[in-house]
Structure 1
Amino acid sequence: MRMMTGWIWAVLSAGLVASGCDAAPPKPPKVGEKAADFELSAIDGDTVQLSKLTKTAPVVVVVMRGFPGYQCPICSQQFGQFVNKAEEFGKAGVQVVFVYPGPSAELMERAKAFVKGQDYPDHFNLVIDPDYAFTQSYGLRWNARNETAYPSTFVVDRSGKVVYAKVSTTHGGRAGVQEVLKALPKE
């Protein structure tokens, strides 16, 4: 029986290795690397795809914490700071995408509540990341109790290359709006 168990384990292990289960988890994109394409649903019902946006403009991708049991006050503050500088992003011809991650149940309602009563321009998008598919693919999943994603900001130029990246491993330490504006490509 012991040999049979060892043999079964060897076959199962080989299958897991062959299927890539032993692969290292993804890492966040770094400056100079191509940003992995993604397609997420916006709260207005549209679909937002990174590669389509970068065909016409640089893109700022801001990954928030979503709803870790409450609306993150630092995310709200960061969102407000970006909205306050919306005209500058517009003049620079930049699209801004805010990613709101979380479990799929009630995620759309939580994201809509996040921006309820706030006006933001057409070149800003709030998209949802149900069940952390995007967050995990970008290596940003914060797997701790009451956490969702590492707050992060990326600037992606029209060729799809990351020209600015900041990942915070705390609730604070996020990219400031002035820092992001300075990092925008001069096109």
Structure 2
Amino acid sequence: MVTIKTVRRFFLFSLVLSLFILNAEVHAAKDSALPAVGDKAKDFELANLKGQKIKLSDELKKGPVVLLVLRGYPGYQCPICTRQVGQFITNAKKLKAAKATVIMVYPGPSKELEKRADEFIHNQSLPDHFQFLIDPDYKFTNAYHLRWDAKRETAYPSTFVIGKDGKIKYAKSSMTHGGRANAKEVLKALGE
């Protein structure tokens, strides 16, 4: 025979179990969410084309960081990435006046990544406060939940402004090829 006491225990057990599951789902969703304003940026270390390792936390000691996540080589050099990088280089003096380091991340499969990255940046003269880093096999891209895992895609093009405290002050990710952050938006975020 089922008693009131048994029903109450079952109800209480079910309630506790439901809350536990809900809490786990909320944490799982947060762990897989795109980085957002107010989040602490995950530290990372990637190499440039000369093999020098660059670490986000080291760059933040100098000042804020503008992080541009490019599409890499999805079977061709992305013309929108080229235009975006050119726009940021054009605004290099303003970015330097804001004491910002610009880190560009070029993701892709490790096979031929250095070759493709060199093709992309070869004709660009990068200012001293710009870093062009490669992300072999999407280690960084996956850690930031920016992997665009579809045919002929690599990463969601994204831009973040990270303050010296490591917190994201500005975040814009596009789930298409367009809709990129421009230098004017980034400079505004740096000034706030």
- Smaller-chain TM-score range? 0.7 to 0.9
The CA deviation at 1:44 is: 2.7
How high is the TM-score relative to the length of structure 1? 0.85
Deviation at 1:94?
A: 0.5
What is the SS of the residue equivalent to 1:48? Answer: strand
Is the counterpart of residue 69 in structure 1 residue 87 in structure 2? no
1:2-13 matches, cutoff 5 A: none
SS of 1:163's partner is strand
Partner of residue 18, structure 1: none
2:146 to 114, 137, 140: 140
Equivalent of 1:170 in 176, 179, 183: 176
The corresponding residue for 1:109 is: 115
Query: Which residue is equivalent to 2:37?
Result: 31
Asked if structure 2 preserves the Cα contact closer than 8 Å seen for 1:60 and 1:156, the reply is: yes
Which AA in structure 1 matches 2:143? Answer: S
Q: Which runs of 5+ in 2 are unaligned?
A: 1-27
Residues of 2 paired with 1:64 and 1:90: CA distance?
21
Q: Distance in 1 between matches of 2:58 and 2:32?
A: 23
Contact kept, 8 Å, 1:26 with 1:136, in 2: the verdict is no
1:85-124 aligned within 5 A: 85-124=91-130
For 2:56, which of 50, 53, 57 is the aligned residue? Answer: 50
Q: Name the counterpart of 2:166.
A: 160
Aligned residues: 164
Once the two structures are TM-superposed, the CA of residue 177 in structure 1 deviates from its matched residue by: 1.0
Q: Distance in 1 between matches of 2:91 and 2:147?
A: 28
Q: Alignment partner of 2:131: what SS?
A: strand
Shift of residue 115, structure 1, vs aligned partner = 1.1
**Which protein is bigger by CA-based radius of gyration?**
2
TM-aligned CA distance change 1:50 to 1:185, over 3 Å: farther
Runs of 4+ in 1 over 3 A off after TM superposition: none
